[in-house]
Chain A
């Protein structure tokens, strides 16, 4: 029971972090039709920026400044890069972001080197939050959940309760009409792309010190969030939410369990493959994903 509770909490906090990433990806995809291959690279940039800022002025300013910086970079890239490629179609856009992922990874190599940097949980958040039976639950895990939930609620409020949110929602389905009504749709695209990358940056700030900040972090989390988007159904936020929690819990449990499976393989060894197996199974039985309707 104790094991189950702790692992469920860990799984949910990891799942929420995954949803912070996959929600930005899904928003950008459903609004612009662009699958941002470099999304996880912005996550990595967020972690590195936060590390750099926290060594200078501390963690709390970094929590705000790093995502803003990442979002600004995202907007610049949309304005001066992605918009130029738009005329060549979606495959060219996908390839542009694919190249961008390469460039960001190499730039991180150049600036911060090839080994992990010492980005740590701030001392205020280091320690146990509460005790379940005998095991202590760290404050930082709780803080991660708090930030993710706060961010998700504010994004949801911004999308449904503000004027710009309504314009974004309208531009999702009827970009031409919105443009005819006098809204600057390319600027909306730029804002959404910047917003999506800022969300990824924020996930990087709180995920970078909970896990590890190293140049391979984008390449390791990137495929997982793409699997989440496919499993949830392309372009569906609700689907991405379910899939994030599902995969978050699944991986946390698989790593913690030491069942022996056939062929002498341990359950924990199988953990990295599980999301992909889930994707393959789902595609065989339900090719559109959990909540998807869009035919790719």
Chain B
């Protein structure tokens, strides 16, 4: 045993996280906010479980929704059986059922997918995802066909007044499972398996020479990851009270990949941020515009090209600058860049919305923005928005050069001081 002093910083971080989970529904107390918080909690587990593959194991999966979706299907049937009185089981522990189901399918499919790594793994996971999706539609008896399987989460005797009828009780259920899963998945990164997964990701050949079976490491990592995906699936089943083929669809698999990548694959924190942003896009933005998927896709591609470390890397890069108390120097360039980006975005949104109005049959081509009213069938708004977009892009180019110059100067100073 090694002597370890009490790590105060770690306790503060985990304590703060638990506190955020506790008070979040008190701060954002509206019904819509609560719906979003519940979905965010579920998505955080799902995205973190996905990052066990992509971030920690170097496995780019295009079929992760298989494990969460099948976990959700088995939980929905378990919940229905509990409702019929076939057996007694607390709803609180239902995510365990989903998790074990996910794990079982992880063992089954993981045996095939983890035989290869890299690009081939990505393609096989895609194939498995498509296969399961097609199978779900093929057996309507168990999976409910297009309509899905619906359920009622208020079953059994209330325990200490908890029935899971009101949404706030569901929130605390999701929050508890989310917190426990985050702790468990973080703990897993510290285990020998977690470390070996990193080694297999970085240099599989060398890991083989050290005496590890890379296939086995990938397999174990995938099986554990599918457990947590199943937990997320069961929580979404409890929340929505319906599970359909959409839960295992390739769209879900793509969604979790986008969420995780936007947040930041190289950092444990990344998928948590990514899940929050993703749910914001899916739930909030989709209410405003039907082109939200296009915006999400553009955001994702921009991140891939300019910030492969995701939002988390952008935030964490600021820490040394803040420590050196030099953030003030960057405030003006950052503000300029943000302003230019907003201008470009406004131009882009204008063009996209006009295209959409023109293509959709029966939609009014007149748009109202900030009291301005214009018709998409006339040319002036097109020229106007194109000019705004071009001006924004040019300004962004100059602003990012300014940011780059200041950033480089500060980094050099920091390096010189260290030397």
- Of B174-182, B218-226, B300-308, B378-386, the segment with at least 4 beta carbons within 8 Å of chain A is B300-308
* Chain B residues with CB below 8 A from A283, complex form: 112, 115-116, 124
**Shortest beta-carbon distance from A115 to chain B in Å:** 10
B98 within 8 A of A: no
**Shortest beta-carbon distance from B248 to chain A in Å:** 13
Instruction: Decide: A92 and B119 in contact? CB cutoff 8 A.
Output: no
Per the CB 8 Å criterion, the residue count for chain B at the interface is: 44
- Of A62-70, A145-153, A178-186, A269-277, the segment with at least 4 beta carbons within 8 Å of chain B is A269-277
> Within the complex, which residue of B116, B123, B297 is in contact with A102, where a contact is CB–CB below 8 Å?
B297
Instruction: Decide: A106 and B291 in contact? CB cutoff 8 A.
Output: yes
Instruction: Decide: B115 and A276 in contact? CB cutoff 8 A.
Output: no
* Chain A residues with CB below 8 A from B62, complex form: 98
Instruction: Decide: B138 and A265 in contact? CB cutoff 8 A.
Output: yes
Most buried by A among B117, B120, B131, B359: B120
Compute how far the CA of A52 lies from the CA of B115 in the bound complex, rounded to whole angstroms: 45
* Chain A residues with CB below 8 A from B131, complex form: 273, 276-277, 280
Compute how far the CA of A50 lies from the CA of B123 in the bound complex, rounded to whole angstroms: 29
Instruction: Decide: B301 and A99 in contact? CB cutoff 8 A.
Output: yes
* Chain B residues with CB below 8 A from A227, complex form: 123, 127
30 A-B residue pairs with Cβ-Cβ distance under 8 Å, sorted by A, are: A35-B123, A81-B301, A85-B305, A88-B304, A88-B308, A91-B60, A92-B304, A95-B60, A95-B304, A96-B301, A96-B305, A98-B254, A99-B258, A99-B300, A100-B301, A102-B297, A106-B294, A110-B294, A113-B360, A227-B123, A230-B124, A270-B138, A273-B134, A273-B135, A273-B138, A276-B128, A283-B112, A284-B115, A287-B115, A296-B118
Q: Report the nearest B residue to A287, measured CB to CB.
A: B115
Encoded as 1 (CB less than 8 Å from any A CB) or 0, chain B from 70 to 98 comes to 00000000000000000000000000000
* Chain B residues with CB below 8 A from A255, complex form: none
Q: Which 9 A-B pairs have the closest CB atoms?
A: A296-B120, A276-B131, A102-B297, A106-B294, A99-B301, A296-B118, A223-B130, A272-B134, A103-B297
A226 within 8 A of B: yes
* Chain B residues with CB below 8 A from A3, complex form: none
Instruction: Decide: B120 and A230 in contact? CB cutoff 8 A.
Output: yes
Instruction: Decide: A102 and B300 in contact? CB cutoff 8 A.
Output: yes
Q: Report the nearest B residue to A93, measured CB to CB.
A: B304
Q: Report the nearest A residue to B303, measured CB to CB.
A: A99
| Beyond known contacts A88-B304, A107-B294, A110-B355: 17 more, CB 8 A cutoff | A85-B305, A94-B60, A95-B60, A96-B305, A98-B254, A99-B258, A99-B304, A103-B294, A103-B298, A273-B135, A275-B127, A276-B130, A276-B134, A279-B124, A280-B127, A296-B116, A296-B118
Given contacts A99-B301, A269-B138, A283-B112, contact A113 B361 (CB under 8 A): yes
**Shortest beta-carbon distance from A135 to chain B in Å:** 29
Most buried by A among B116, B127, B294, B359: B127
**Shortest beta-carbon distance from A159 to chain B in Å:** 23
Compute how far the CA of A103 lies from the CA of B297 in the bound complex, rounded to whole angstroms: 6
B352 within 8 A of A: yes
A161 within 8 A of B: no
Compute how far the CA of A29 lies from the CA of B127 in the bound complex, rounded to whole angstroms: 18
Most buried by B among A91, A109, A113: A91
* Chain A residues with CB below 8 A from B126, complex form: 223, 226
A219 within 8 A of B: yes
Encoded as 1 (CB less than 8 Å from any A CB) or 0, chain B from 151 to 181 comes to 0000000000000000000000000000000
A57 within 8 A of B: no
Q: Report the nearest B residue to A85, measured CB to CB.
A: B305
Where chain B touches its partner, the secondary structure class is: helix
Compute how far the CA of A88 lies from the CA of B361 in the bound complex, rounded to whole angstroms: 42
B319 within 8 A of A: no
Compute how far the CA of A165 lies from the CA of B359 in the bound complex, rounded to whole angstroms: 42
A250 within 8 A of B: no
Q: Report the nearest B residue to A84, measured CB to CB.
A: B305
Q: Report the nearest A residue to B300, measured CB to CB.
A: A99
Instruction: Decide: A296 and B121 in contact? CB cutoff 8 A.
Output: yes
**Shortest beta-carbon distance from B286 to chain A in Å:** 13
Compute how far the CA of A284 lies from the CA of B124 in the bound complex, rounded to whole angstroms: 12
A90 within 8 A of B: yes
B280 within 8 A of A: no
CB within 8 Å of A: which residues of B?
Answer: 58, 60, 62, 112, 115-124, 126-128, 130-131, 134-135, 138, 250, 254, 257-258, 261, 291, 293-294, 296-298, 300-301, 304-305, 308, 352, 355-356, 359-361
* Chain A residues with CB below 8 A from B120, complex form: 230, 234, 296
Q: Report the nearest B residue to A281, measured CB to CB.
A: B112
* Chain B residues with CB below 8 A from A226, complex form: 123, 126-127
Instruction: Decide: A230 and B127 in contact? CB cutoff 8 A.
Output: yes
**Shortest beta-carbon distance from A227 to chain B in Å:** 5
* Chain A residues with CB below 8 A from B138, complex form: 265, 269-270, 273
* Chain B residues with CB below 8 A from A107, complex form: 294
Most buried by A among B60, B126, B257: B126
* Chain B residues with CB below 8 A from A109, complex form: 294
* Chain B residues with CB below 8 A from A85, complex form: 304-305
Q: Report the nearest B residue to A296, measured CB to CB.
A: B120
Compute how far the CA of A239 lies from the CA of B36 in the bound complex, rounded to whole angstroms: 48
Compute how far the CA of A279 lies from the CA of B300 in the bound complex, rounded to whole angstroms: 30
Compute how far the CA of A287 lies from the CA of B117 in the bound complex, rounded to whole angstroms: 11
A143 within 8 A of B: no
Instruction: Decide: B119 and A110 in contact? CB cutoff 8 A.
Output: no
A262 within 8 A of B: no
* Chain A residues with CB below 8 A from B360, complex form: 113
Instruction: Decide: B122 and A99 in contact? CB cutoff 8 A.
Output: no
Q: Report the nearest A residue to B121, measured CB to CB.
A: A296
* Chain B residues with CB below 8 A from A100, complex form: 301
Q: Report the nearest A residue to B299, measured CB to CB.
A: A99
Instruction: Decide: B128 and A81 in contact? CB cutoff 8 A.
Output: no
Compute how far the CA of A273 lies from the CA of B119 in the bound complex, rounded to whole angstroms: 22
Q: Report the nearest A residue to B204, measured CB to CB.
A: A295
Q: Report the nearest B residue to A271, measured CB to CB.
A: B134
* Chain A residues with CB below 8 A from B294, complex form: 103, 106-107, 109-110
**Shortest beta-carbon distance from A280 to chain B in Å:** 5
**Shortest beta-carbon distance from A102 to chain B in Å:** 4
A229 within 8 A of B: yes
Q: Report the nearest B residue to A264, measured CB to CB.
A: B141
* Chain B residues with CB below 8 A from A91, complex form: 58, 60
* Chain B residues with CB below 8 A from A111, complex form: 355, 359
A112 within 8 A of B: yes
Compute how far the CA of A24 lies from the CA of B377 in the bound complex, rounded to whole angstroms: 39
* Chain A residues with CB below 8 A from B135, complex form: 273
